[in-house]
Structure 1
């Protein structure tokens, strides 16, 4: 099987005049090759499908580290290379919906309706402009009030998980997404808690700056609490280094520290600081469709390929059964205990 990059290089070289052979490795030619690599993804070998549906929560309570940007661009990259992807926008700001060109004004059917039980996930899922294989559940400003509305609801932490399980169970096998990516808000509130309960894996984007490491311990502690009390299957599976500025030693030091601590969880691909990545949402696009030849686009394609290769080694998918509605799940620990990172004793039958 020939290397896709080599095939593209040969194809581009064949279209150039003989005298331009020496100029093929110029910056413009290399950018053209990178753009062709993305624009003609259908002509390349598709990414391997995972052994089971991967429900990945993209979380980090620190803002501005690239959660939404990574969710959107990884989703677009996976879908362009042949995989079915569902992006769930769980941030009331709706930035992921904007980047995917999905309407999210007030009144638009959104994830809020699925959380409060007024609609199924299928009824609030919208197609995107990025790829026919990519669909999105948008977020509207109504989601900002969901945390207050759900406080008194039984099993409030399981609302999103039940909605996703029911949706996957209803879909035919050939239409089920290979990846469900959940974009979290920059907080550790009830919305992020719902995302952690709904997911099987956590992907943590880490900005290559010192401050990005400060709140990481609290996030990991909360993930452990969720694993102990609400979702035994949740685990941190992927660390993605973002906003890497190769001109500074600090970026390399942070990257080395993260790799030394997390080992193989850290993707080899690093997302560089790239103005095109920041510009793309302003046009309602991902960087892959806005400027496919940019370094940011290439980096996200490489990161998505790594993610897909890791997923191919997972055990086979077992069909998801919808959560029973007759009997409520075991009593959950108080929300403030999970948010503040405090341990809570599990209630026993004698206590109740």
Structure 2
């Protein structure tokens, strides 16, 4: 049985999409069958795996509307063993359209739960908000990875996100677990980066992944070529970091 993992943080620019794309590609290279669901209207995870966003006719929007099945929305990516349910800018409208629907928080769960038997890991790249889209992702997931930028405001907003996760556990999905906090954009030369790492490790101890994602130019370049860091430059620090994270996730879930 596969595991559904949301990658969420309501703060923008913390490395959610970078993590979604590169963790998916790393798990794929380690011979796990992966589905990446793009649940962000910006559709960066879709384009980051070489899919032309404009050509998307069936994706997360249609899936949440239940106007097509999950199987109809799945397309292969340019990363080995990784399939994608793509997003398009039309996804912006879904929050308004779902507002009056019954069980609106469960639309994604209903649409994808049966796919767990077909994949080892299903990753959901969440939008940078705590709206209905992210709520759907958290309700559908078994666990959540929270990327945290090694910068000054890193811990601001984390409390809010953890409270949202608690309320999702209480109301919609009591089995939701925190897979781990992932420190991203780390620069060992900066005192501030090191302080954030210490703070997070001190407060959250076992919840923090041992792997830390370092700042890496190649990691920033890869999406403009529509490739994961594994395809783009497997010898880079970014690729090493994400392969290490993938191994950590596999070890945690196969113990």
Shared fold per TM-score greater than 0.5: yes
| Matched residue, 1:92 | 41
Deviation at 1:105, TM superposition (A): 1.4
What is the root-mean-square deviation of aligned Cα atoms in Å? 1.1
The structure with the greater share of residues assigned to strand is 2
Q: Does 1:312 align with 2:254?
A: yes
Please give the alpha-carbon distance, in whole angstroms, between the structure 2 residues aligned to 1:251 and 1:217.
Answer: 20
Please give the alpha-carbon distance, in whole angstroms, between the structure 1 residues aligned to 2:107 and 2:232.
Answer: 35
Deviation at 1:167, TM superposition (A): 3.6
2:182–2:209 Cα contact (<8 Å) kept: yes
| Matched residue, 1:83 | 32
Deviation at 1:89, TM superposition (A): 0.3
2:154–2:196 Cα contact (<8 Å) kept: no
Q: Does 1:163 align with 2:111?
A: yes
List runs of 5+ in structure 1 lacking aligned partners: 1-51, 314-352
List runs of 5+ in structure 2 lacking aligned partners: none
| Matched residue, 2:71 | 122
SS of the counterpart of 2:146?
strand
* TM-score of the two chains, using structure 1 as the length reference: 0.71
* TM-score of the two chains, using structure 2 as the length reference: 0.98
| Matched residue, 2:143 | 201
| Matched residue, 2:90 | 142
2:34–2:119 Cα contact (<8 Å) kept: yes
Deviation at 1:107, TM superposition (A): 5.2
Q: Does 1:216 align with 2:158?
A: yes
Report the structure number with the largest CA radius of gyration. Answer: 1
| Matched residue, 2:170 | 228
Please give the alpha-carbon distance, in whole angstroms, between the structure 1 residues aligned to 2:145 and 2:193.
Answer: 20
SS of the counterpart of 2:179?
strand
| Matched residue, 1:269 | 211
Aligned length: 255
Q: Does 1:58 align with 2:16?
A: no
Please give the alpha-carbon distance, in whole angstroms, between the structure 1 residues aligned to 2:211 and 2:240.
Answer: 10
2:2–2:121 Cα contact (<8 Å) kept: yes
Deviations 1:118-158 (A, max 9, x none): 00011000000111x11000000110000001111111100
